[in-house]
């Protein structure tokens, strides 16, 4: 369920902006007066696939419908949204499919037996259904059957003690997502409290914690800058148990530590860091995905940390980046309460189902534009600025393979004067990030702009020093690689210039815009630029990258480099 209430009626008397097709695709007329309202509602259960200028196409997916069902929405509500905005009658096949898919969620349950078979032992896990036919169908599958130990009756099977997570994965793959009601281990007690002194939890943060706490597992989706770390801290205080926090990098680990020290009564002695530099295990331990997936002798030597202590709670920061080895062990940790935090559930590897089954369904989702309207995140304008590929590079591009083509197009020096023009336009006071993918390109930009450079090779201590100087406005322009995509708190950054990226990554686009969304001390808006080489794969990938932000209601002002003054005038008129 979203943080805001549903739109109760279309804003106009025109035929609706939506065409619902029998292949589960939805076509949204972008310029219709009800398009924004429709987009807001579609985000509950559908995924944006393509976003050209006039018609956006969405797809209704099983995982999208199951997330909607887990969040409390019904098939009737989903169909009401489609009927309200559709230009034509919704096909009967779509109505039947939505009812069937959403009805499948929870028809199978994982529960604990009321009493253990052996006195003093933990009650065993059961797979249970009120439909013997459904249970018989899934139990007849070899992979599912290998996870079940005994048929008790026509409505229940015993589950192998170790198989809770893997069973949920197998059931999801077969279209029968199980509701996990087997409960959780409490873990060691931790006397944690939120200390609201010079600040207060926001209403949506309280609601996110409440919804998660009622279930014990699942994902909270909040825009960058909306306080996901605070939600994590409040969840720790609510559960009062030893906690393992998994984060993207060491800089993020230290920002989590600082936030916990500021927002809770936890002390330095109670918070440990487990990274490439430090190996501490304390009541609250913050570990990096990188150290957990580091191999030694062909083995993941640090994964044992996940099961080494009496954790009662595991927090997965930036859960959309969760690496495969951590998925595997998470399947064995289903008795721990689990919270995933992210700005977007989009995964380019297609493993959204893994997050759903192993971390849990989406429990709370606050649309970006809703929080912007409430003043919790900064308003932002997005631009796509297209440059021509120089003739000498065009020959190289034509002869190159696909991977080299993207690098040639994305790294063209034609982007440098455009970046300089953007920086000059925003003036000397704008805090500007220049973000890219390729080290040689970043080094060239840093030299041309006379700006410091942060990459994965930059020592953590130097990164923190440069980020702090940027926060204190000693540095106005900072050139950064993808190490700054995640969990870097730069509250006064107001301009970002993206010069290259990870091909067509939607989540990276969202994260990079997110670097700008913390409300500014002077109340100003943010500006997010993507410089794209036109008529190349760089342009194609850019269109794919923009899909998630388009779904959230952001539109891109589009023009050639020569049109920048016109784009700025358009934005001023629109404002």
Per-residue pLDDT of 177-234, as tens digits, reads 999 999 998 899 999 999 988 889 999 999 999 999 998 999 998 888 889 999 999 9
Structural domain contains residue 182? no
Q: Reduced to 3 states, what is the DSSP secondary structure of residue 570?
A: helix
Please report the pLDDT score of residue 7 as a whole number: 41
The predicted structure's pLDDT at residue 110: 94
| More confident position, 39 or 207 | 207
Q: What is the pLDDT of residues 522-562, one digit of tens each?
A: 777 889 999 999 999 999 888 877 877 877 778 788 999 99
Pair (348, 456) in one structural domain: no
pLDDT (mean) for 333-344: 88
Are residues 92 and 116 located together in one domain of the fold?
Answer: no
Q: Is residue 493 part of a domain?
A: yes
State what percent of residues in the chain have pLDDT above 70. 91
Closest CA to 207 of 220, 226, 196, 197: 220
Q: How confident is the model at residue 121 (pLDDT cuts 50, 70, 90)?
A: low
8 lies in some domain: no
CB atoms within 10 A of CB 193: 13
- Residues with Cβ within 8 Å of residue 336, at least 6 apart in sequence: 184, 185, 187, 311, 312, 313, 314
d(C-alpha 479, C-alpha 484), whole Å: 10
Indicate whether 423 and 507 sit together in one domain: yes
pLDDT of residue 378: 85
Question: What was the pLDDT predicted at 368?
Answer: 80
Strand partners, 245: 286, 315
The pLDDT of residue 575:
64
- Residue 6: what pLDDT? 41
Domain carrying residue 161: 108-176
Per-residue tokens: 185? 């281990």
The answer to whether residues 287 and 220 belong to one domain is yes
CA dist list (Å): 146 to 67, 160, 161, 170, 325: 27, 9, 12, 11, 22
pLDDT of 119: 43
Alpha-carbon distances, residue 484 vs 396, 455, 529 (angstroms): 31, 8, 16
Burial pattern 385-414, b for ≥16 Cβ within 10 A else e, equals: bbbbbeeebbeebeeeeeeebbbbbbbbeb
With a cut of 50, say whether residue 1 has pLDDT above it. Answer: no
Residue 12 lies in a domain: no
Question: What local confidence, expressed as pLDDT, does residue 503 receive?
Answer: 66
Q: What is residue 115's predicted lDDT score, i.e. its pLDDT?
A: 63
Same-domain pairing of 317 and 379: no
SS3 readout for 9-52: CCCCCCCCCEEECCCCEEEEECCCCCHHHHHHHHCCCEEEEECC
Q: How confident is the model at residue 13 (pLDDT cuts 50, 70, 90)?
A: low
Let me know whether 362 and 391 are in one domain: no
Residue 9 pLDDT level (bands cut at 50, 70, 90): very low
304 shares its domain with 327: yes
What pLDDT does 2 receive? 45
In a domain, 475, yes or no: yes
442 and 536 co-located in one domain: yes
Distances (CA, A) of 280 to 208, 259, 469: 30, 18, 28
What is the rounded average pLDDT of the residues 493-511? 82
Buried b / exposed e over 117-134, threshold 16 CB at 10 Å, is eeeeeeebbbbbbeeeee
How many domains, in total, are found in the chain?
4
Q: Report residue 456: phi and psi, to 5°.
A: -65, -20
> Is the pLDDT at 418 greater than 90, yes or no?
yes
Task: Decide which of 124 and 2 is more confident.
Answer: 124
CB 177 within 8 A of CB 105: yes
Q: H-helix or E-strand containing 271?
A: strand 271-274
pLDDT-based confidence at residue 156 (cuts at 50, 70, 90): very high
Residue 357 is predicted with a pLDDT of: 84
pLDDT, tens digit, 9 for 90 and up, residues 144-153: 999 999 999 9
Q: Is the pLDDT of residue 140 over 90?
A: yes
> What is the distance between the alpha carbons of residues 53 and 31, in angstroms, rounded to a whole number?
9
CA–CA dist 402, 537 (Å, integer): 8
Q: What's 472's domain CATH number?
A: 3.40.50.300
Locate tokens 């954790």: which residue?
Answer: 311
Name residues whose C-beta falls within 8 Å of residue 383's C-beta, 6 or more positions apart in sequence: 527, 528, 529, 530, 556, 557, 558, 559, 567
In angstroms, how far is the first alpha carbon of the chain from the final one?
30
Same domain, 438 and 563: yes
Q: Are residues 338 and 255 in the same domain?
A: yes
From 336, 366, 396, the end of a domain falls on 366
Residues 420 and 516 in one domain: yes
Q: Is the distance from CB of 43 to CB of 551 less than 8 angstroms?
A: yes
Structural Rg of the chain based on CA atoms: 25
Domain boundary residue among 317, 335, 366? Answer: 366
- Residue 510 has a pLDDT of 81
Does 439 have pLDDT greater than 90?
yes
Rounded distance between C-alpha atoms, residue 534 and residue 539, angstroms? 5
| 3-state SS, residue 105 | coil
Among 366, 393, 428, residue at a domain's last position: 366
Q: List, for residues 442-485, the tens digit of each pLDDT value.
A: 999 999 999 999 998 888 889 889 988 988 889 999 999 887 76
Model confidence band, residue 25 (pLDDT cutoffs 50, 70, 90): very high
Is the alpha carbon torsion for 214, 215, 217, 219 positive or negative? negative
The pair of structure tokens assigned to 415 is 């982007």
Output 330 or 496, whichever has higher pLDDT. Answer: 496
Domain annotation covers residue 198 = no
Interval 70-82 mean pLDDT: 93
Output 237 or 364, whichever has higher pLDDT: 237
Residue 143 sits in a domain whose CATH number is: 3.30.70
Query: What mean pLDDT value characterizes the chain?
Result: 87
How far is the C-alpha of 234 from the C-alpha of 8, rounded, in Å?
A: 33
Give 160-180 pLDDT, tens digit per residue.
988 999 999 999 999 999 999
Contact at 8 Å (CB) between 56 and 50?
yes
Q: What is the pLDDT of residues 283-312, one digit of tens each?
A: 999 998 888 777 777 677 676 776 778 899
For the residues 506-528, what does the mean pLDDT come to?
80
The pLDDT, as a whole number, for residue 3 is 42
Q: Is residue 65 part of a domain?
A: yes
Residues 397, 354 share a domain: no
């Amino acid at each position: 369920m979203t943080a805001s209430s549903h739109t109760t009626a279309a804003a106009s008397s025109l035929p609706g902006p939506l065409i619902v097709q029998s292949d589960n695709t939805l076509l949204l007329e972008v310029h219709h007066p009800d398009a924004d309202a429709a987009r807001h509602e579609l985000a509950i259960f559908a995924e944006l696939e393509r976003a050209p200028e006039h018609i956006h196409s969405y797809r209704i997916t099983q995982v999208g419908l199951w997330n909607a069902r887990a969040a409390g929405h019904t098939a009737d509500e989903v169909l009401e949204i489609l009927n309200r905005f559709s230009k034509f009658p919704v096909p009967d096949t779509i109505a039947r499919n939505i009812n069937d898919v959403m009805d499948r969620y929870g028809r199978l349950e994982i529960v604990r037996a009321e009493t253990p078979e052996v006195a003093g032992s933990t009650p065993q896990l059961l797979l249970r259904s009120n439909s013997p036919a459904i249970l018989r169908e899934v139990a007849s599958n070899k992979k599912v059957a290998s996870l079940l130990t005994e048929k008790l009756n026509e409505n229940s099977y015993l589950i192998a003690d170790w198989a809770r997570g893997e069973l949920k994965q197998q059931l999801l793959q077969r279209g029968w997502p199980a509701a996990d009601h087997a409960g959780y281990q409490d873990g060691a007690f931790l006397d944690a409290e939120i200390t609201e002194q010079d600040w207060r939890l926001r209403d949506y943060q309280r609601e996110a914690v409440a919804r998660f706490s009622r279930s014990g597992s699942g994902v909270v989706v909040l825009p960058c800058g909306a306080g996901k770390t605070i939600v994590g801290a409040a969840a720790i205080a609510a559960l009062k148990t030893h906690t393992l926090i998994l984060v993207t990098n060491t800089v993020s680990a230290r920002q989590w530590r600082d936030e916990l020290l500021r927002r809770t009564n936890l002390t330095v002695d109670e918070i440990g860091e487990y990274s490439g530099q430090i190996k501490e295990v304390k009541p609250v331990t913050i570990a990096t995905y990188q150290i957990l997936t580091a191999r030694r002798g062909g083995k993941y030597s640090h994964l044992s940390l996940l099961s080494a202590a009496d954790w009662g709670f595991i927090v997965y920061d930036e859960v959309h980046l969760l690496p495969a080895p951590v998925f595997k062990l998470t399947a064995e940790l289903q008795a721990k309460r689990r919270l995933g935090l992210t700005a977007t559930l989009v995964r380019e590897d297609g493993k959204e189902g893994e997050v759903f089954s192993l971390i849990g369904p989406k429990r709370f989702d606050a649309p970006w534009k809703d929080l912007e309207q409430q003043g919790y995140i900064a308003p932002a304008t997005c631009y796509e600025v297209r440059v021509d590929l120089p003739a000498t590079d065009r020959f190289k591009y034509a002869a190159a393979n696909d991977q080299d083509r993207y690098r040639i197009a994305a790294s063209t020096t034609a982007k440098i004067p455009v970046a300089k023009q953007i920086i000059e336009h925003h003036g000397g006071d704008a805090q500007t990030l220049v973000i890219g993918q390729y080290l040689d390109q970043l080094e060239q930009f840093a030299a041309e702009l006379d700006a410091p450079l942060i990459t994965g090779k930059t020592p953590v201590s130097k990164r923190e020093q440069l980020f702090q100087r940027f926060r204190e406005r000693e540095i106005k322009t900072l050139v950064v690689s993808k190490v700054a995509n995640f969990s870097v708190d730069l509250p006064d950054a107001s301009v970002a210039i993206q010069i290259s990226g990870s091909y067509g990554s939607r989540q990276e686009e969202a994260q990079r815009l997110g670097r700008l969304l913390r409300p500014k001390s002077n109340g100003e808006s943010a500006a997010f630029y993507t410089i794209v080489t036109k008529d190349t794969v760089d342009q194609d990938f850019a269109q794919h990258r923009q899909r998630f932000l388009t779904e959230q209601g952001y539109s891109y002002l589009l023009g050639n480099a020569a049109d920048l003054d016109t784009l700025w005038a358009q934005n001023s008129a629109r404002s």
